[in-house]
């Protein structure tokens, strides 16, 4: 197994912006006409964690209901997870619990962070920041981040936090 | 990595080296884990992390399709392209062999190589 490379998964309902976040992360830019992810897509990003290079192999899971049954297959071996919801669609926040359950039942406890996307659409927001922060704390997330894949704001931060946590986890910290 | 694991890793590397030596049409070959990480790969121009993730996905989805269609146990998968053929074959529940051979190569020989490699690697891992 390659040292310093870790599999991480992007979970969350269809249309929350997982692929747009992943594309931003690897410098591919924002595509307003981004099509749905069929099954899964993969991205590789190297991040620097306090001087140590860490390569994240990002598995961007198709969020549509019809691909959901394959999620356990794709989750296998994940060392970290990023759960994404859309701050303008309440149901995507409510469905986080389902994504969390399937993740925990497949890979057990792994480092995870929560991400609220589309904060550029502040006027359409229906999930308050404090509510998401409270949920993140209560369900074992390391942190909650608000990002915008459209503008690129804060997109790297959750991946860096997750990489740092995975390294700590791997070192038994 | 422990000594025993290092020894197995080197033995698998030697098998892949031999495959390439015996078949000049073998463009890329590798062993990847079923959760999508590279174990040993010889694929100079490709991103082995990305390829490994994709190969594990292909294998996993193909197994699901065959299971759903009640096609029995999967033997291998062949994807042909203008440039050649991709062969994906399960070694164990945890490992997958992947090969890319040039179009002009003999597919039968490549499949025989795959079968031989799977047997040798299985033996190393079970020793």
Alpha helix segments (H runs only) across chain B: 3-22, 48-68, 107-126
pLDDT mean over A144-161: 97
Instruction: Output the six-digit token pair for B69.
Output: 């269609």
Average pLDDT score over residue span A71-95: 96
Residue B1: closest C-alpha in chain A:
A1
* pLDDT, average across residues A135-157: 97
| pLDDT tens readout for residues B91-110 | 999 999 999 999 988 999 99
- Is residue A169, in this structure, part of any structural domain at all? no
Q: How high is the pLDDT of residue A144?
A: 98
- Plot region of A165 (φ>0 → left; ψ -120 to 50 → alpha; else → beta): alpha
pLDDT at position B88: 98
As a whole number, mean pLDDT of residues B74-84 equals 94
Report which secondary-structure segment, H or E, holds A18.
helix A18-25
Closest CA to A34 of A21, A14, A20: A20
Q: How far apart are the first and last CA of chain B?
A: 17
Does the structure show a pLDDT above 60 at B75? yes
* Phi, psi (degrees; rounded to nearest 5) at A108: 70, -160
pLDDT digits (tens, 9 = 90+) for B15-69: 999 999 999 999 999 999 999 999 999 998 889 999 999 999 999 999 989 998 9
Residue A172 lies in a domain: no
Closest CB to B50: pick one of A39, A44, A74. A44
- Chain B contact for A42 (CB, 8 A cutoff): yes
The chain A residue lying nearest B32, using CA atoms, is: A1
pLDDT above 80: residue A2: no
Query: What is the distance in angstroms between the Cα of B49 and the nearest Cα belonging to chain A?
Result: 7
CATH number of B3-126: 3.30.450.30
pLDDT at A64: 87
Query: What value of ipTM does the predicted structure carry?
Result: 0.76
pLDDT tier at A173 (50, 70, 90 boundaries)? Answer: low
The per-residue pLDDT for A29 is 85
Kindly report, residue by residue over A21-76, the tens digit of the pLDDT.
999 999 988 888 888 888 899 999 999 998 989 999 999 999 888 888 889 999 99
Q: How far apart are CA A107 and CA B32, in angstroms?
A: 19
Q: Report residue A109 as tokens.
A: 């406890």
Q: Which residues in chain B have Cβ-Cβ distances shorter than 8 Å to A10?
A: none
Q: Which of B38, B54, B64 sits opposite A73 (nearest CB)?
A: B64
Q: Which residue ranges make up each domain of chain B?
A: 3-126
In a domain, A165, yes or no: no
Structure confidence at residue A1 (pLDDT): 56
- Write the CA distances from A164 to A3, A45, A47, A63, B101, integer angstroms: 15, 14, 10, 26, 39
Which chain A residue lies closest to B31 (C-alpha atoms)? A1
Beta strands B26-33 and B38-42 are antiparallel
Q: What is the DSSP string of A82-145?
A: EEEEETT-HHHHHTHHHHHHHHHHHH-S--EEEEEE-GGGGGG--S-HHHHHHHHHHTT-S-EE
Residue of B nearest to A46 (CA): B49
Nearest neighbour of B47 by CB, restricted to A39, A44, A76: A44
Mention every residue, 6+ apart, whose C-beta is less than 8 A from residue A74.
A9, A39, A40, A59, A61, B57, B60
A93/B contact by beta carbon, under 8 A: no
Contacts of B49 in chain A (CB under 8 A): 2, 5, 44, 55, 57
**Is A99 within a domain?**
yes
> In terms of residue numbers, what domain contains A126?
5-160
A155 inside domain: yes
Q: What is the pLDDT of chain A when averaged over all its residues?
A: 94
The domain that holds A44 is classified in CATH as 3.40.50.300
pLDDT at A136: 98
C-alpha separations of A109 from A106, A112, A155, B80, B117 in Å:
9, 9, 24, 40, 36
Give the total number of structural domains in chain A: 1
Task: Say whether B53 and A2 touch across the interface (CB within 8 A).
Answer: no
What is residue A68's predicted lDDT score, i.e. its pLDDT?
83
Of B38, B54, B60, the CB nearest to A73: B60
B95-102 β-sheet, strand order: B38-42, B26-33, B95-102, B84-90, B77-80
pLDDT score of B1: 60
Residue B10 pLDDT more than 80?
yes
């Amino acid at each position: 197994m390659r040292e310093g490379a870790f599999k991480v998964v992007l979970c969350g309902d269809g249309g929350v912006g997982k692929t747009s976040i992943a594309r931003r992360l690897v410098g591919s830019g924002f595509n307003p006409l981004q099509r749905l992810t069929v099954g899964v897509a993969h991205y590789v990003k190297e991040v620097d964690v306090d001087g140590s290079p860490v390569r994240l192999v990002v598995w961007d899971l198709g969020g549509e209901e019809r691909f959901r049954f394959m999620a356990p297959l794709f989750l296998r071996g994940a060392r970290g997870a990023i759960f994404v919801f859309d701050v303008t669609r309440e149901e995507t926040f409510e469905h986080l619990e389902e994504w969390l359950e399937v993740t925990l039942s497949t890979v057990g406890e792994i480092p995870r962070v929560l991400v609220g996307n589309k904060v550029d659409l502040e006027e359409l927001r229906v999930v308050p920041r404090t509510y998401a922060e409270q949920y993140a704390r209560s369900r074992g997330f390391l942190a909650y981040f608000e990002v915008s894949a459209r503008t690129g704001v804060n997109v790297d931060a959750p991946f860096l936090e997750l990489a740092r946590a995975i390294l700590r986890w791997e070192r038994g910290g | 990595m422990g000594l025993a694991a290092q020894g197995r890793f080197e033995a698998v590397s030697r098998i892949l080296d031999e495959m390439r030596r015996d078949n000049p049409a073998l463009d890329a070959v590798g062993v990847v884990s079923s959760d999508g990480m590279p174990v040993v790969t010889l694929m100079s121009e490709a991103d082995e992390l990305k390829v490994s993730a994709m190969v594990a996905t292909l294998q996993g989805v193909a197994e699901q399709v065959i299971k759903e269609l009640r096609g029995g146990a999967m033997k291998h998968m062949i994807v042909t392209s203008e440039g050649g053929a991709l062969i994906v074959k399960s070694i164990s529940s945890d490992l997958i062999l992947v090969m890319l051979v040039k179009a002009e190569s003999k597919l039968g020989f490549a499949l025989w190589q795959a079968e031989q490699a799977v047997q040798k690697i299985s033996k190393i891992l079970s020793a």
